[in-house]
């Protein structure tokens, strides 16, 4: 296990583009961290900076208490698995997995033992003599994972390592990965574009946008208390609309609705409302209380209910759920519970 500590990391590329902006982050020994964010948010840049493939323009990075600024990737005590498993097709499984040990000049007898033990650990016992072309995609990714951990790294870095796999194989390997990192007590940083995957496997999730950290929190904290509209929109599919505080109420002019200020949690100056799917409910025409009209744009089945996208005449589009599938273009009434106000 190793602690990773980044202090004020900034990465500016030669063309002037900022990849990371003043990133400070502490990852505890044995913790599994997921980095998420929209395309171009900086998550892969941060991972590659930890790995040593990118040098920060300023700031400091420590792994296990060691300053890493001038330490090359192969000297950092890390293992890394990429989206494309990148195992060598002309080498047997044994030779692929044993490559880091040969580079480290580990004696052959010890290599053989560690290769066999590691293959058993990733669920591939007895695969030493197989060639990559005879393996499935999931097996090849297991070989890549075995190669990453065979040299007993203290840190494991995963760059979209599961995204090329099909379900349910991906789900199975995801579960095995969590168990493996816990068993091996590996400090793990996992970059993924899949929000559900990040929430499912991570001890904490780091949400990035524009090269900056927007929030670091447990999955439950992210869902319950997104720190700002960016996080609410990315993690929970919130609709972000203008809002204002007037007297003892919060008003949303676009939808023509308001809520008592006493029922709303306000962060900052209260200029944005984040309407999460759970804040919107399709109701019958004759239901009491304030509702707004909307038109159903889409409805897809998700784990026991329908995820519905609907739009208001103002152009505001939001998500909600329904027990029964509404028709495309159907007119509905929506009631909104108090949203998050920023």
The lowest-confidence range among 92-101, 143-152, 158-167, 245-254 is 158-167
Q: How high is the pLDDT of residue 11?
A: 98
Residue 38 has what pLDDT?
A: 94
- The tens digit of pLDDT for each residue in 74-128 reads 899 999 998 776 788 899 999 999 999 998 899 999 999 999 999 998 889 999 9
Question: What percentage of the chain carries pLDDT values higher than 90?
Answer: 75
Helices (H), the chain: 43-51, 93-103, 108-121, 137-149, 169-184, 195-201, 219-224, 229-236
**Secondary structure tally for the chain: helices H, strands E:** 8, 21
Statement: residue 288 has pLDDT above 70: no
The pLDDT confidence band at residue 246, using thresholds 50, 70 and 90, is confident
Asked whether the predicted pLDDT for residue 23 surpasses 90, the reply is yes
Q: Say if CB 20 and CB 176 are below 8 A apart.
A: no
**pTM for the model:** 0.91
Q: CB–CB of 98/87 below 8 Å?
A: no
pLDDT at 286 over 80: no
**Higher-scoring residue by pLDDT: 282, 284:** 282
Place of tokens 């944005």: 272
Q: Convert the pLDDT of each residue in 185-233 to its tens digit.
A: 999 999 999 999 999 999 999 999 999 999 999 999 999 999 999 999 9
Which pLDDT band holds residue 20 (cuts at 50, 70, 90)? very high
Predicted pLDDT of residue 69: 86
Please tell me whether residue 230 adopts helix, strand or coil conformation. helix
Sheet holding 249-252, edge to edge: 244-246, 249-252, 257-260
Q: What is the pLDDT of residue 329?
A: 96
Give the pLDDT band (50/70/90) at residue 183: confident
């Amino acid at each position: 296990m190793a602690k990773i500590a980044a202090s004020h990391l900034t990465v500016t590329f030669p063309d002037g583009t900022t990849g990371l902006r003043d990133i400070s982050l502490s990852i505890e020994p044995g913790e599994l961290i997921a980095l998420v964010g929209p395309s171009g948010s900086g998550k892969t840049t941060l991972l590659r900076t930890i790995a040593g493939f990118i040098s920060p323009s300023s700031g400091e990075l420590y792994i296990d208490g060691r300053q890493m600024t001038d330490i090359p990737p192969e000297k950092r005590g890390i293992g890394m698995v990429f989206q494309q498993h990148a195992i060598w097709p002309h080498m047997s499984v044994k030779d692929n997995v044993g490559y880091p040990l040969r580079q480290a000049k580990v004696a052959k007898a010890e290599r053989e033992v560690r290769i066999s033990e590691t293959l058993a650990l990733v669920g591939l016992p007895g695969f030493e003599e197989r060639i990559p072309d005879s393996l499935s995609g999931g097996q090849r990714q297991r070989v890549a994972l075995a190669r990453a951990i065979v040299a007993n790294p203290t840190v494991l870095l995963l760059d979209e390592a599961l995204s090329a796999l099909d379900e349910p194989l991906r789900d199975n390997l995801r579960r095995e990965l969590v168990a493996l990192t816990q068993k091996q007590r590996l400090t793990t940083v996992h970059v993924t574009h899949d929000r559900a995957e990040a929430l499912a496997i991570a001890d904490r999730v780091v949400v990035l946008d524009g090269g900056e950290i927007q929030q670091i929190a447990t999955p439950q904290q992210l869902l319950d208390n997104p720190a700002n509209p960016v996080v609410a929109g990315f993690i929970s599919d919130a609709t972000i609309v203008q809002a204002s505080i007037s007297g003892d109420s919060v008003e949303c002019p676009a939808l023509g609705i308001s809520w008592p200020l006493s029922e709303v949690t306000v962060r900052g100056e209260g200029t944005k409302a984040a309407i999460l799917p759970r804040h919107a409910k399709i109701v019958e025409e004759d239901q009491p209380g304030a509702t707004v009209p909307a038109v159903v744009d889409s409805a897809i089945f998700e784990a026991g209910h329908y995820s519905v996208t609907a739009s208001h005449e103002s152009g505001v589009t939001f998500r909600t759920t329904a027990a029964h599938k509404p028709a495309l273009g159907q007119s509905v009434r929506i009631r909104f519970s108090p949203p998050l106000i920023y």
